[in-house]
Amino acid sequence: MPVTEKTLSAAGVKVVGAVRTFNGGVCAVDHLSLEIGPGEFVAILGPSGCGKSTLLRMIAGLDRPDQGVVQVEGDTSIGRVGYVFQDAHLLPWRNVLTNVALPLELAGVDHAERITRATAVLSEVGLGDFIHRYPAELSGGMRMRVSLARALVTSPVLLLMDEPFAALDEITRQKLDEMLRQLWAERDMTIVFVTHSIAEASFLAERAVVLTRRPARIVTDHAIDLPVDRPAVLRGESVFAREMRTLYAALEEGMRA
Amino acid sequence: MSILRVVRRVVPPLLTAVVVLCLWAGAKSVFGIEDFKIPSPVAVAHAEMKYWPLLWRATLTTAQGAGAGFLASILVGIFSGAVLSSNRWVERAVYPFTVFLQTVPLVAIAPLIVLWFQPGFYSVAVSAFIVSVFPVIANTLSGMRSIDPPLNDLFQLYGAGPVTRLWKLKLPSALPDIFTGLRIASGLAVIGAIVGEFGAGTFDQQGLGIVVLSAKRNFSTDLVFAAVGMSAVLGLVAFAAVNAVGYLMLRRWHASAREN
């Protein structure tokens, strides 16, 4: 899908001079400014504990900056911003289907429509045969797919992801990265993806924003020069290695800063 | 469950019981302990059969008092735990005083209970309630306070209000802890009922506590043992019932119900 069509309803993000300091004086984000256009896929890359999650939480409205502005530009009504956590964080007493339907349930959508929409998004993430299983009966990768489906079920215009695949093994992670790229191409949404993996950022994003150690500031804002269509074999090609080298250098610089 | 597994389950505790009974009977004859101090296991079994109608009625009476107190503990305990968990200030202001329920000696306030509720069923139920409610409050509170923080974020993100949050997040999340509290409370309710009967039981509604008191007065120690045995069984039944309900509610998702 060409980018022009994606900009119809996907949301943008505007961060201007954001500062966030926690009780006890730890500064997580320091005068950070960042603009993300509608329909972009942006990776936020930085060393662990650098304030990436804080930035994401502020964009989601789960936290507020002490100074500056963090706002979503577009449809900010409930359900239009999706959030995927570091681990799946499902409700263990609900099965896969009712876990995915939860956001719709909280929004007051009626039962029949909830089931239809949750079932549809579950088959999209390849879990059509597992809808009646419980989280405890699934593998880590499957649980993360459920978590992703839960975030997608409301058709968000902005999807925020906080190192969602970091706890998974490499193969599962690559599969999910490929699936996510596909979902982004098919849907009209902006994705902000926090990660500390250079390979993941290069493979997934159109643009990578590299942050310094805490407090987070931007070292590099890099447009990833890879084709829109990204098959798994791309990871072995020299253009991919080149992007990774660029990001690696930026990350090194960020650690020193 | 295969027969072999049943055998593995049943034989070890059975062996323990047999050993204990032999030691009991043996020690009694070796040390020459009189029957009115410790009757033999056979005498207790005999009393159990001889006084069965009396014991059965007493057990049902005690069960009613304990059951009513326990039911009140479930309702009041979960409700109080939920209220306390809703707000840090409420918790700070009220929680220290709920500890009184834990520390106040039931025997000391039994006369007051009798004064307020008259001897009989209500006083017994109130005694059972007072000793069994605290573990329910404490465990509900602890369960509702330890909600996985990202799940709180999730409910906030989708605009869930406090009532929705309670029903769809806090209560189910706290359920394993609530059942831990209920397991403790079930046994305590039986104890509370019997102690309550010591102070507030009546002879026209004879519970196990009354049977123990009057049998002791007549030096029918065998009947005392038989009544104590029945109260232990009653506690066990209450515990097993709570476990069974807990298993049914938690088996699909919680590790505590998966073991065994």
Distance from CA of A43 to the nearest CA of B (A): 21
The whole-number pLDDT of residue A28 equals: 84
Flag if B153 and A62 touch (Cβ within 8 Å): yes
Kindly list the residues from chain B whose CB atom is less than 8 angstroms away from the CB atom of residue A76: none
Higher pLDDT, A46 or B132: B132
A218 pairs with which residues across the strands?
A: A211
Chain A residue nearest residue B258, CA to CA = A136
Q: Which two tokens stand for residue A83?
A: 């959030």
DSSP assignment letter at A137: G
Distance from CA of A229 to the nearest CA of B (A): 32
Distance from CA of B81 to the nearest CA of A (A): 20
Flag if B253 and A60 touch (Cβ within 8 Å): no
Flag if B253 and A79 touch (Cβ within 8 Å): no
pLDDT in tens, B40-67: 999 999 999 999 999 999 999 999 999 9
Chain B residue nearest residue A104, CA to CA = B158
Q: Answer yes or no: are the C-beta atoms of A131 and A119 closer than 8 Å.
A: yes
Flag if B253 and A57 touch (Cβ within 8 Å): no
Q: How many Å is the Cα radius of gyration of chain A? A: 18
Which among B47, B79, B77 is positioned nearest to B228, based on CA atoms?
A: B47
Confidence category of residue B3, pLDDT binned at 50, 70, 90: confident
pLDDT in tens, A108-162: 999 999 999 999 999 999 999 999 999 999 999 999 999 999 999 999 999 999 9
Q: Answer yes or no: are the C-beta atoms of B120 and B62 closer than 8 Å.
A: no
Amino acid found at A17 = G
What is the C-alpha to C-alpha distance for residues B20 and B13, in angstroms, rounded to an integer?
Answer: 11
SS3 track for chain B: CCHHHHHHHHHHHHHHHHHHHHHHHHHHHHHCCCCCCCCCHHHHHHHHHHCHHHHHHHHHHHHHHHHHHHHHHHHHHHHHHHHHHHCHHHHHHHHHHHHHHHHCCHHHHHHHHHHHHCCCHHHHHHHHHHHHHHHHHHHHHHHHHCCCHHHHHHHHHCCCCHHHHHHHHHHHHHHHHHHHHHHHHHHHHHHHHHHHHHHHCCCCCCCHHHHHHHHHHCCCHHHHHHHHHHHHHHHHHHHHHHHHHHHHHHCCCCHHHHCC
Q: Which two tokens stand for residue B30?
A: 């070796």
What is the C-alpha to C-alpha distance for residues A172 and A88, in angstroms, rounded to an integer?
Answer: 14
Question: Per-residue DSSP letters for A1-38?
Answer: --HHHHTTT--EEEEEEEEEE-TTS-EEEEEEEEEE-T
Flag if B154 and A89 touch (Cβ within 8 Å): yes
Amino acid found at B82 = A
Kindly list the residues from chain B whose CB atom is less than 8 angstroms away from the CB atom of residue A93: 172, 175, 250, 252-254
Asked if A3 reaches chain B (Cβ–Cβ under 8 Å), the answer is: no
C-alpha dist (Å) from residue B245 to B175, B178, B249: 11, 12, 6
Distance from CA of B132 to the nearest CA of A (A): 27
The minimal CB distance from B159 to the residues A85, A87, A106 is found for A106
Asked if A103 reaches chain B (Cβ–Cβ under 8 Å), the answer is: yes
For testing contact with chain B, the best of A91, A147, A154 (most B CBs within 10 A):
A91
Q: How many Å is the Cα radius of gyration of chain B? A: 22
What is the C-alpha to C-alpha distance for residues B159 and A115, in angstroms, rounded to an integer?
Answer: 20
- In chain A, the percentage of residues whose pLDDT exceeds 70 is 96
Q: Which two tokens stand for residue A183?
A: 């979902």
pLDDT in tens, A164-188: 999 899 999 999 999 999 999 999 9
The whole-number pLDDT of residue B202 equals: 79
- Residue A54 parent element (H or E): helix A52-60
Question: CA geometry: angle at A207 spanning A206 and A211, to 5°?
Answer: 150
Confidence category of residue A59, pLDDT binned at 50, 70, 90: very high
Kindly list the residues from chain A whose CB atom is less than 8 angstroms away from the CB atom of residue B158: 78-79, 102-103, 106-107, 154
Flag if A106 and B153 touch (Cβ within 8 Å): no
Flag if A83 and B160 touch (Cβ within 8 Å): no
Kindly list the residues from chain B whose CB atom is less than 8 angstroms away from the CB atom of residue A87: 150
pLDDT in tens, A213-235: 878 888 899 999 999 889 899 99
On the CB side of B252, CA atoms within 13 Å amount to 13
C-alpha dist (Å) from residue A33 to A17, A47, A250, B18: 5, 18, 18, 77
pLDDT in tens, B106-161: 888 888 898 999 888 999 999 999 999 999 999 999 999 999 999 999 999 999 99
- Name the one residue in this structure whose structure tokens are 């902000």: A192
Flag if A136 and B158 touch (Cβ within 8 Å): no
Which among A247, A253, A210, A250 is positioned nearest to A51, based on CA atoms?
A: A210
Chain A residue nearest residue B160, CA to CA = A106
For testing contact with chain A, the best of B158, B165, B166 (most A CBs within 10 A):
B158
Which among A91, A87, A12 is positioned nearest to A53, based on CA atoms?
A: A87
The whole-number pLDDT of residue B168 equals: 96
Higher pLDDT, A88 or B253: A88
CA dihedral (A230, A231, A235, A238) positive or negative: negative
How many Cβ atoms from other residues are within 10 Å of residue B124's Cβ? 33
Sheet of A12-21: strands edge to edge? A27-36, A12-21, A67-73
Q: Answer yes or no: are the C-beta atoms of B95 and B106 closer than 8 Å.
A: no
What is the C-alpha to C-alpha distance for residues A192 and A158, in angstroms, rounded to an integer?
Answer: 8
Q: Residue B89 pLDDT > 70, yes or no? A: yes
Flag if B253 and A107 touch (Cβ within 8 Å): no
Amino acid found at A62 = L
Flag if B150 and A85 touch (Cβ within 8 Å): yes
